[in-house]
Structure 1
Amino acid sequence: MKLAQRAGFRCSNPQCGALTIGPGAGPEGVSDTGTAAHIFAAAAGGPRGTGGLSDKERSAISNGIWMCASCGRLVDANAGKFYSESLLRSWKDLHENRVRLEQGGHVQPFGWVQSLEVMSHYLFTPGVIQLSKLNLLFGMNGSGKTRLFHLLRCLTSPQLLMDAVSVKYPADLSCAITWFDPALRRATVDVCGEVLEYQADDRRVPLPPRPYRVWSFGTQSFAMESPTVSGVADFLGVDPWAARTVIHSLPGLLPDVISDVSLNSEGSVSITYCRGWRAAEQSRIFPFYVLAAFAELQARAEPTILVLDEPFNFLHPAMEMEILDLFESSQWEFQVILATFSPHAYDRRHHGWSATVLVSEGGRKSRISQEDDDVEAINRPPKGESLEEIIKGMRASSKEL
């Protein structure tokens, strides 16, 4: 009953929202057409698996989402493979914020990007990426990952898009982005020569709407020896005082991994870890804790997407697993897009991550695919070659366009 009450007795599917309670037969009858669907399955073998949760955790309200009967059946069809745990949690958070807004209560600035549709582009055939809270992006060097990120940022950083179009690849392009804030919104971006035009909710606007913030971290080293306030500020690209706020927030946001931080008068940072990372390991994993804390603080002010481009280079597999576990925590309000060739990330596709593959179509074009066959194909090495050998070949191939 509490799950239904928190949802205002409406379906949590953002594209449905049907009322699930109303008058029934007779003067006192009540008709209830809602259902408490499980996010992770109640038992082994159910839709989306059990996610490693205990029996008590699977029966808790945190593992439930209120839906109408039709949507409840829909998300569990085909073993739930089209509706990930990450997507359902995003729906639940979004819907509860919408209910708070209608009720007049305090509303967190929760929102999330639902899709990026490429309608015309010099590197991609037309296609759509459906985004959830956790997203994996697989693609060989030269497949266009960086240009895809530029499209995602075209509402907040149009200069990145125009620099590539007008200088290196003169061409027209068109894309559309849909997001929730918490209402469903849509913006289209059209480039014709050196002219950039926007439409927001089918209305032409002179300047782009800024519905979310994208923070992208890629080619720089994900290592930070002897961290300092100025080093964290440079790494994040923020003011030193903002860096201090992020550093001081670490024990509160990550109590299971960091028990204390302190800053001396010169700005050096001392960290007390809850586990025994060696010095070399600390220097490589600390930046990821900083990124998670920074993105979370940003998400509490505005919808935020954290983009990590090939962050696992030179990391030990145990540290990769630690970082994947870090982002899989249900507490975070930001979205993650992780572009990687890591075989360990491939293996986490059923832990709430949505997977997208950029498939070479010959010539310069790539096809955007979220089909299981395409995702599996990139994880299926030819006979006689290991996955590690294939990944090394991908990394050594042509540079990113």
Structure 2
Amino acid sequence: MRNIFTGQNGSGKSVLTRLIASVAYPDHVAELSRDREVDMGVRWFDPMTHDVATKGRSGVVTHVLDGEPVPYVARPYKTILLQPAQRGEIENLNALAQMFDLSTSAMRSTLGLLPADSDLVKEVQCLNGKVHWTLDVNGRTERFTGRGGLSLGSEPLILLELAGLHARHHARVEPTFLLLDEFFGFHDIHTQIAALERLELAAEHAQVAVVSHSPQIVQRVSADWSTTVLEHRPRNRWDTPLDFEVETKSAASD
């Protein structure tokens, strides 16, 4: 499934992505609950039906799984919540591994596969915990060796290529949801659409949700993307229930 969440600032787009991700990473609920009460219910199938009710109060999270209180919920699906990285994070192997919830060994192996999978990334080297990149950007070679060299707009595109590869491989063994929250701030609409088209193919069986306030994205993506428009919610109206549905589907069932 390919999804776009759009709406005005304050409509709850970023909150929605964190709620989706919170089944696998309840710290998102803990953070949200510091200034509001959070009550969330999720159902999934594996193939039996499971229901979990999650509450967040003042940073404390509790769960009830299939009617029984539990200290945590074993992850029913993998979520990758990707936001624009801090400048320079892509040069740090540990930072990349943490971003994608991987060990450094798994991240190093994933980086090694990227050049064969990408039109953008031509070479990746990992030396002493640093990641050195060589890119082909519109026929121009860009190199990053920890001392600058990459344009500001290249870093999000690298992360997007890496996210698509990681999501595709992970979805082969576990239902995977890739969430991109306002990820294209440095790019024109043509670059954004081209990046989404590459991601649509690269992610394969992984589900993808993109948060964007840009009406042009909604108008120009392919018909394979479903669109959800969220209404603006004043801060004093967060007690209004927000309903959404997540479909988990393994590659083996496709």
Using the size of structure 2 for normalisation, the TM-score is: 0.73
Number of the residue aligned with 1:212: 77
Change (3 A) 1:177 1:364: same
Number of the residue aligned with 2:125: 263
Helix, strand or coil for the counterpart of 1:329?
Answer: helix
Number of the residue aligned with 1:94: none
- Render the CA deviation track for 1:320-367: whole Å, top value 9, x for unaligned: 122111122176121111111123321245431111122135542467
Change (3 A) 1:316 1:352: same
Alpha-carbon contact 1:359-1:369 (below 8 Å) kept:
no
Letter of the structure 1 residue corresponding to residue 9 of structure 2: N
Number of the residue aligned with 1:352: 224
Q: Which whole-Å CA distance do the structure 2 matches of 1:364 and 1:159 have between them? A: 23
From 47, 60, 64, the equivalent of 1:198 is 64
Q: Which whole-Å CA distance do the structure 2 matches of 1:177 and 1:277 have between them? A: 47
Letter of the structure 2 residue corresponding to residue 305 of structure 1: F
Count of equivalent residues: 229
Number of the residue aligned with 1:141: 9
Matches within 5 A, 1:107-256: 133-165=1-33, 167-169=34-36, 171=37, 173-181=38-46, 183=47, 185-191=49-55, 196-200=62-66, 203-206=67-70, 207-218=72-83, 220-221=85-86, 227=91, 229-230=93-94, 232-233=96-97, 235-236=99-100, 238-254=102-118
Q: Which one has the bigger strand percentage?
A: 2
Helix, strand or coil for the counterpart of 1:153?
Answer: helix
Helix, strand or coil for the counterpart of 1:328?
Answer: helix
Alpha-carbon contact 1:224-1:286 (below 8 Å) kept:
no
Change (3 A) 1:265 1:219: closer
Instruction: Select the structure of larger CA radius of gyration.
Output: 1
Shift of 1:289: 0.7
Q: Which whole-Å CA distance do the structure 1 matches of 2:139 and 2:41 have between them? A: 46
Number of the residue aligned with 1:335: 207
Number of the residue aligned with 1:364: 237
CA RMSD across the alignment: 3.4
Helix, strand or coil for the counterpart of 1:220?
Answer: coil
Q: Which whole-Å CA distance do the structure 2 matches of 1:225 and 1:154 have between them? A: 23
Matches within 5 A, 1:289-328: 289-328=161-200
Q: Which whole-Å CA distance do the structure 2 matches of 1:251 and 1:329 have between them? A: 16
Change (3 A) 1:162 1:230: closer
Helix, strand or coil for the counterpart of 1:168?
Answer: coil
| Structure 1: gaps (5+ residues) | 1-132, 371-401
Q: Which has the higher contact order (CA 8 A, sep 6+)?
A: 2
Alpha-carbon contact 2:30-2:56 (below 8 Å) kept:
no
Alpha-carbon contact 2:23-2:75 (below 8 Å) kept:
yes
Shift of 1:134: 0.9
Number of the residue aligned with 2:160: 288
Alpha-carbon contact 1:359-1:368 (below 8 Å) kept:
no
Shift of 1:310: 0.4
Change (3 A) 1:277 1:150: same
Shift of 1:211: 0.7
Q: Which whole-Å CA distance do the structure 2 matches of 1:264 and 1:311 have between them? A: 25
- Render the CA deviation track for 1:236-287: whole Å, top value 9, x for unaligned: 4543322211111113434xx1574242645443435495256435444222
Using the size of structure 1 for normalisation, the TM-score is: 0.49
Q: Which whole-Å CA distance do the structure 2 matches of 1:180 and 1:249 have between them? A: 32
State the percentage of identical aligned residues: 21
Helix, strand or coil for the counterpart of 2:237?
Answer: coil
Q: Which whole-Å CA distance do the structure 1 matches of 2:90 and 2:39 have between them? A: 45
Shift of 1:312: 0.9
Letter of the structure 1 residue corresponding to residue 237 of structure 2: R
Q: Which whole-Å CA distance do the structure 2 matches of 1:304 and 1:233 have between them? A: 17
Alpha-carbon contact 1:356-1:368 (below 8 Å) kept:
no
Letter of the structure 1 residue corresponding to residue 179 of structure 2: V
Alpha-carbon contact 1:285-1:319 (below 8 Å) kept:
no
Q: Which whole-Å CA distance do the structure 2 matches of 1:360 and 1:312 have between them? A: 21
Number of the residue aligned with 1:57: none
| Structure 2: gaps (5+ residues) | 143-150, 245-254
Alpha-carbon contact 1:349-1:355 (below 8 Å) kept:
no
